[in-house]
Amino acid sequence: MTLVLVCTVPAALVAAGAVYEDYLLRKERVFESAVTTARNLVSEVERELHGIEAGLRVLATADDLAHGDMPSFHRRAEDALRLQNVDSYILIDPDGMQVINTNRPFGATPVRSAIPRDTQQLAIQQRRTAISGLFHTAIGNELTLAVSVPVEIGGSVPYTLNAGIRPQRISEILQRHQLDVGWVAAALDANAVIVGRSRDENRYVGQSAVGSLAEAVRTRGEGTLLSETKEGIPVLTAFSHSADSHWAVAVGAPIATLSAELRRSMLIVIAAGAAIILGGLLLAYWLARTIERSVTALIAPAVALGSGGEIEVPRTRFRETVALGDALTHASHMLIKTQELAYHDPLTSLSNRLLFRELALHALAAAERNTRPVALLALDLDHFKHVNDTNGHGLGDLVLRIASDRMRATLRSADIVARFGGDEFVILLEDTSSEQAMRVAEDLIRVLSAPYPAVLSPVGASVGIAMYPRDALDLDTLLELADAALYAAKAAGRGRAQHAPPAPAGARGREPH
């Protein structure tokens, strides 16, 4: 009896501690899941706004706008409206008067724009994109928000071009994400006003978030708190901010639902623990010596793991010690692999060939699942060898670092750029059409052709483009096609981008699994 008690009490204490630790871990996972959901929703909203911004910037550089041909530009804006997730395009002069509004016929009497003046001034004075909070439109008095970009003509900014977006479009972005039952998501502007909601948006859009959440999003970049929904339901709220604006997305998970799930999980853990302890007591004496031998056999491999070499793990008869031995073997392999691999180029801090391949294969697999196009760009610096030969490798290295910084500044944060060696770079653009890839390539050529400090000879860039799935289905073939297109661009005179020629039937490579 005493032996049973001696075995039972420590085991029970350990089990109780393990159960409590498991409870804390499960609770932490709930918090992490809510924060991850908020981050994902922020990314989706950002992606939509970036697409709208890109469309605005293309429109803002239209020739008919630069030449003052407003009737033609009005028609162009109406055509673009059908391709973008926006409700209107509005051209506004510095006095705040609407020059063009796609919701009105061209030539209608000008009216003063209701877009907040500070949004317009930010776009004009700082010559960058500005996003407003909610406001009531001058025509129709509807709640709307605006994305504004400056229109630069001849070095001045005579207009801003604005996209009007109704809150329903923001709500639709949130609703595309499959939230758990009872969960609710809301997008908040810089003033913590609700600009979109995954449910009941017509009721709550335009209202301020509940006080505790409003205070949190104004003072913290990301986090969790206990609060209530606008309906008064107690929730665990997680929020995250956009990286390039003051917007935030908050996700609320009902506390009652979370508590019930935790209690159910804990009961399962407790029951399983009790059964294991009981079975362990029945088998304790017989197994003690055998377990000891199995564990002792793993001591030498565990000690050898510290030397960094490959280890040999003897086979044992217990599942737990087998799993531990497998873990030691796996750790040994991972340690060796980690020591052998370097994932970034030491000169430019860009991804190297190995990391690029891993990321690119993952991106192609995601593109296959989501049936989205991917562009792969092969880029070389033109005349870089001349810089090295005439100025030395020190200045050549500086050019490579500056070129890398320019590429990072030009590309999206989600784009993958790697240095393969010398002046050879490879870029992967997810969810990018052939036309968009060509625009990105031209932007890269433009920024890379700008002068470099202390370099007198010109440096430029040539780009070859291959498209998934149009040109090929596997990474290696895409790289080959992009390389071939790059050499064709160089042969055609450098300083240009060229698409890979269409692949022959049946020659697009294998699926990217």
Q: Are residues 71 and 217 in the same domain?
A: yes
CB atoms within 10 A of CB 441: 25
Q: Are residues 376 and 272 in the same domain?
A: no
Q: Are residues 24 and 56 in the same domain?
A: yes
Split into its structural domains, the chain has a count of 3
The reported pLDDT for the residue numbered 513 is: 44
- Mean pLDDT, the chain, rounded, equals 85
Angle, vertex CA 353, rays to CA 351 and CA 356, nearest 5: 55
Q: Are residues 302 and 381 in the same domain?
A: no
- Reduce the DSSP state of residue 461 to 3 states and report it: strand
Q: Residue 90 pLDDT > 90, yes or no? A: yes
CB atoms within 10 A of CB 75: 14
State the Cα–Cα distance between residues 252 and 302, nearest whole angstrom.
45
Q: Are residues 283 and 316 in the same domain?
A: no
Under the banding of pLDDT at 50, 70 and 90, the label for residue 278 is: confident
Q: Are residues 164 and 311 in the same domain?
A: no
Decide if 4 is inside a domain: yes
Q: Are residues 56 and 198 in the same domain?
A: yes
Q: Are residues 275 and 307 in the same domain?
A: no
Q: Are residues 40 and 161 in the same domain?
A: yes
Q: Residue 300 pLDDT > 60, yes or no? A: yes
Contact 403, 343 (CB under 8 A): no
Q: What is the domain-level CATH number for residue 440?
A: 3.30.70.270
Q: Are residues 242 and 310 in the same domain?
A: no
* Sign of torsion over alpha carbons 67, 72, 78, 79: negative
Q: Residue 338 pLDDT > 90, yes or no? A: no
Decide if 25 is inside a domain: yes
Is the model more confident about 376 or about 21? 376
Domain that holds residue 109: 1-292
The reported pLDDT for the residue numbered 30 is: 77
Residues 401-427 pLDDT 10s:
999 999 999 999 999 999 999 999 999
Average pLDDT value for residue range 373-389: 94
Q: Are residues 407 and 424 in the same domain?
A: yes
